[in-house]
Amino acid sequence: MEVVKCSRCGAFYSNTGYVCPKCTDKDNFEFSTFKSYIEENRADIPSLNQISIYTGITEKNLNRFLNYDGLGEYKKLFK
């Protein structure tokens, strides 16, 4: 079984997923906040820094979300 380090809290875990089980709920919540924020501001996409200020999600986590499955299209918006 592969053990990976949670990118949110640094704990080690062995399940599949982007973060450890303890952080999954918060991660999913922030991920959907981020997605809906982009959808609402599609006409004028703010910078990751601005999104971080408005949503309270750290830029580190926003950058992580851009590498999640299904966000390839969003990733292009910030290049």
What residues line the site for Zn ion (CB under 5 A)?
6, 8-9, 11, 19-20, 23
- Taking the least distance from each CB to Zn ion, the nearer of 20 and 51 is 20
Least distance between Zn ion and beta carbon 7 (Å): 8
7 vs 41 by CB, closer to Zn ion? 7
If the CB atoms of residues 47 and 67 are measured against Zn ion, the closer one turns out to be 67
Are the beta carbons of 69 and 16 closer than 8 angstroms? no
**How buried is residue 78: exposed, middle or buried, by Cβ count under 10 Å (0-12/13-18/19+)?**
middle
Closest CA to 37 of 23, 24, 53: 53
